[in-house]
């Protein structure tokens, strides 16, 4: 009988710990969403298009490949970052989580996220062909109510790039 009570007591303690962790996560997510919603008035008309859960198209030019932006949700970017951007991709050589990590930045130097892990071919191209281990990139960030997401087109072949010096049309 004593072992049953001890087991029941341990079960209750573990359940409380798990529920507390879930509650903390939900609370943080709710606070983050409220912060972003309060900043909606700062958005331009073109930025408002990137607010909400919808399919947004992005076409890759010749010499570019399209990727999802990983980790934008965790960067805690202000909601005013939604919309199109011009920027660059940097091949990181010292990332402890992914030896082929490629970071995405906008033109003002704000780190937006990463390409999905394991892009060995793209990483090698950037190191061998890019200036200072970086190449041109363009894309968008959007907000779906619970976090940021986006897509980016990254240069993959400088011989095919026809519009490298023509920036992606960004309306602000």
Is 60 exceeded by the pLDDT of residue 129?
yes
* 132, part of any domain: yes
* 70, part of any domain: yes
CA distances from 110 to 72, 81, 107 (A): 11, 10, 7
Say what the pTM is. Answer: 0.70
* 150, part of any domain: yes
- Counted domains in the chain: 1
Per-residue confidence (pLDDT) for residue 115, from 0 to 100 = 95
The CATH number that applies at residue 45 is 3.30.70
Q: What is the pLDDT of residues 135-150, one digit of tens each?
A: 999 999 998 877 889 9
- Residue 99: give the domain boundaries: 40-155
Q: What is the pLDDT of residues 36-50, one digit of tens each?
A: 555 556 667 667 666
């Amino acid at each position: 009988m004593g072992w049953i009570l001890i087991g029941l007591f341990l079960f209750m303690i573990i359940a409380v710990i798990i529920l507390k962790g879930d509650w903390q996560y939900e609370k943080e997510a709710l606070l983050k969403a409220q912060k972003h919603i309060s900043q909606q008035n700062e958005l331009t008309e073109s930025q408002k298009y990137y607010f909400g859960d919808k399919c947004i198209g992005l076409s890759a030019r010749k010499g570019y490949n399209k990727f999802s932006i990983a980790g934008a949700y965790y960067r805690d970017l202000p909601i005013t970052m939604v919309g199109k951007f011009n920027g660059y991709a940097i091949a990181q050589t010292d990332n402890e989580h992914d030896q082929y990590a490629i970071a995405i930045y906008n033109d003002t130097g704000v780190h937006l996220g990463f390409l999905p892990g394991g892009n060995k071919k793209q990483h090698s191209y950037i190191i061998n062909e890019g200036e200072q281990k970086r190449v041109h990139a363009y894309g968008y960030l959007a907000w779906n109510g619970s976090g940021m997401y986006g897509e980016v087109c990254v240069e993959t072949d400088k011989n095919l790039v026809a519009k490298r010096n023509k920036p992606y049309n960004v309306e602000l």
